Chain A
Amino acid sequence: MRLEAESLSHSYSGKQPLEALRRVSLSIPAGQFVALIGPSGCGKSTFLRLAANLLPVRSGSLLLDGQPPRAAVAQQRVAWMAQSPALLPWRTVRANVLLAGQIQNHGSRPRLDAEEALARVGLSDMAGSYPAELSGGMQQRLALARTLTLPASLWLMDEPFAALDELTRERLAGELLGLWQPIGATVLWVTHNIHEAARLADRALVFSQRPGSIVADIPIPLARPRREADPDYQSVVTSIRTGLGMAETGVSS
């Protein structure tokens, strides 16, 4: 799915209105894996919520394959995954994976059926267990399996593995890449981890501090899997770090 934003701004109303995004314009071609990186509270999650139709677009425009987010969500073309695995504790692992299909009424259209999705994330043996019996990493795998059943062509991922330990996070990210590549969905991946962005993405968008705008657009034309020792990888890390430095100074100036 192609994503185009034009002068997209967003403010949270309240006693003290908070400007979260200011005039963000960008274009993301279909199938690109894009990391949104920036300091905390820079509006990257707001951007994602706007794309998922969890927030209304009030200023500027945001189009997903030429449609407003509401229409894309109604057509079940968008998948959402956040830091919390968001599992229903009263449903078994299998029933949690099936839930999305029951809500969206996929019928014959699921990308993967529940058993296959669970097999892909290595949870087949746990299908009859309850989420409370799973470790944090397994819970996120389960959330990933649920995402894999959706017929979506845009994956919006808001720091999905941020609550996990470093090792589990790296392993899951690797698994995610393997699962994503044959599907080729467009991915917007929010992170504040430079290496995560450099390892996973085709492109890194660096957000400034609040109100968020894009201060650097860094292409990452490296083949996967990427090695940290590779000098090209190191130069990508350096550019992202420089971009983040600009994000910091952009506010202090």
Chain B
Amino acid sequence: MNGGRTWLPVALVGGFLAIWESAVHLFRIPLYLLPAPSRVVWTLAQNLTPYSQATLLTMGEALAGLALGVLTGGLLACLLVLRPGAENGVMTLAILVKSTPLVAIAPLLTLWLGFGVLPKVIITALMTFFPVLVNILSGLQRPDPALVDLFQSWNASRWQIFTKLRLPASLPYLFAALKISAPLAWIGAVVAEWTGASGGLGRMMWLAYTNLNLPYMFAAIFILSTLGMGFYRLLAWLESRVVFWQPVTVEEERV
């Protein structure tokens, strides 16, 4: 790990927080408009138990939804590759789901399924499944043609080509999809909670918002962005382990 590369992001975030902090004090910005970072952290420290409970709940919803989305998208992609021909129909349906604003569906799902965890998981799954489907599908469809020739010259069956070539070759695409879908999972879970929930960070934010309790709201935002970034880092690390043969891309180096 390059020392400069770890130092720089910390300095940037620190600088940003410092400017924010001093601006709030300098311009005497009222608390109901923008709380200083120190106030947000203090609020967080004072309410550690409710925040950790809410975080666990939201994280559970986001991860369950992501898992469901990845599973559905991945299986559908496999199906389309093993049984070509259905692609047009399935993709039209998938694009329809993708283009429907989920913010509009979320209240409906809450109405039908209640304030529990299920509608949040479904919304998150709906949000995350499309990038997974599209990415894995292109990964499965585009192995190196020279390798396909080779497998065919060995008289390999469609299934052998799928398991020994297409599936492993699509792993880098799976990680690309996860890196797009993971942030979407957080958004999905929080947005779904906003539309009605009995707990979770989204619910806390909504309550804080209606009371104009901005330190409370910002504390939830802090948690969300930290978790989102941590999760992304975890994925990037996992990717370098699992897809070890893939050269590090420029995009990853920037993270």
Interface string of A49-78 (1 = CB under 8 A from B): 000111000000000000000000110101
Residue of B nearest to A132 (CB): B245
The answer to whether B168 has its CB under 8 Å from any CB of chain A is yes
Interface mask (A64-108 → B, CB under 8 Å = 1, otherwise 0): 000000000110101110111010111000000001101110000
In the assembled complex, A130 has its CB within 8 A of some CB on chain B:
yes
A175, B32: Cα distance in complex, Å:
80
Query: With A90-B168, A99-B164, A103-B156 as given contacts, are A80 and B150 in contact (CB-CB < 8 Å)?
Result: yes
Answer yes or no: B154 CB below 8 A from chain A CBs: yes
> For the complex, is B153 an interface residue (Cβ under 8 Å from A)?
yes
Q: B160 within 8 Å of A by Cβ?
A: yes
CA distance A84 to B155 in the complex (A): 19
Most interface-central of B151, B153, B244 (chain A CB within 10 A): B153
- Give the complex CA separation of A84 and B148 in angstroms: 12
Complex CA gap A78/B153 in Å reads: 7
Partner of A82, one of B146, B165, B168, B245: B146
Complex Cα gap A80–B227 (Å) = 50
Residues of A within 8 A of B252 (CB): none
> Which of B147, B149, B150 counts the most chain A CB atoms within 10 A?
B150
CB B79 to nearest CB in A, in angstroms, measures 23
- Mask for A147-180, Cβ within 8 A of B = 1, else 0? 0001000001000000000000000000000000
Find residues 147-192 in chain B having any chain A CB closer than 8 Å to their own CB.
Answer: 147, 149-156, 160, 164-165, 168, 171
Q: Are B154 and A104 in contact (CB under 8 A)?
A: yes
Which one of A76, A83, A131 contacts B155 once the chains associate, using CB atoms below 8 Å? A76
Q: Are A53 and B160 in contact (CB under 8 A)?
A: no
Cβ B153 vs Cβ A73 within 8 A:
yes
Measured in the bound complex, the distance between the Cα atoms of B157 and A73 in whole Å is 12
Other-chain residue from B146, B152, B165 in contact with A84 (beta carbon distance below 8 A)? B146
Closest chain-A Cβ to B140's Cβ sits at a distance in Å of 15
Q: Is B253 on the interface with A (CB-CB < 8 A)?
A: no
> B144 at interface (Cβ–Cβ under 8 A)?
yes
Instruction: Give Cα A86–Cα B143 distance, bound, in whole angstroms.
Output: 11
Q: B146 near A86 (CB under 8 angstroms)?
A: yes
Q: Specify the chain B residue showing the minimal Cβ separation from A102.
A: B164
Cβ B144 vs Cβ A86 within 8 A: yes
Q: Which residues of A contact B153 (CB under 8 A)?
A: 52-54, 73, 78-80, 156
A188–B218 alpha-carbon span in the complex (Å):
71
CB distance from A10 to the nearest CB of B (A): 16
Distance of B155 from chain A, by nearest CB (Å): 5
The residue in B144, B146, B151, B165 that gathers the most chain A C-beta atoms within 10 A of its C-beta is: B146
Tell me how far the C-beta of B126 lies from the nearest C-beta in chain A, rounded to whole angstroms: 32
Contact with B along A90-128 (1 / 0, CB 8 A): 100000000110111000000000000000000000000
* Contact between A88 and B147, CB atoms less than 8 A apart: yes
The distance in angstroms between the C-alpha atoms of A246 and B56, with both chains bound, is: 78
Q: Which residues of A contact B165 (CB under 8 A)?
A: 88
| Residues of A with C-beta under 8 A to B151 | 103
A104 and B155 contact, Cβ closer than 8 Å, known pairs A86-B144, A88-B165: yes
Contact present for B245 and A90 (CB under 8 Å): yes
Report yes or no: B168 in contact with A103, Cβ–Cβ below 8 A: no
B residues within 8 A CB of A88? 147, 164-165, 168
Residues of A within 8 A of B156 (CB): 103
Pair A80/B149 contact, Cβ less than 8 Å: yes
Looking across the interface, which residue of chain B has its beta carbon closest to that of A73?
B155
Residue from B154, B164, B165 having most chain A Cβ neighbours under 10 A = B154
> Which among A89, A90, A103 is the interface contact of B154 at CB below 8 angstroms?
A103
A55 smallest CB distance to B (angstroms): 10
Q: Is the CB of B149 within 8 A of A130?
A: no
Given A76-B155, A82-B146, A88-B164, output 20 extra A-B contacts at Cβ < 8 Å: A52-B149, A52-B153, A53-B153, A54-B152, A73-B153, A74-B155, A80-B149, A83-B146, A86-B147, A86-B149, A88-B147, A88-B165, A88-B168, A89-B246, A99-B164, A100-B154, A103-B151, A103-B154, A132-B245, A156-B153
A and B contact pairs by CB, cutoff 8 A, 6 listed: A73-B152, A82-B146, A83-B146, A84-B146, A88-B164, A99-B164
Q: Name A residues whose Cβ lies closer than 8 Å to a Cβ of B.
A: 52-54, 73-74, 76, 78-80, 82-84, 86, 88-90, 99-100, 102-104, 130-132, 150, 156
Please name the 5 residue pairs, one residue from A and one from B, whose CB atoms are nearest each other, closest first.
A80-B153, A89-B245, A84-B146, A86-B146, A86-B150
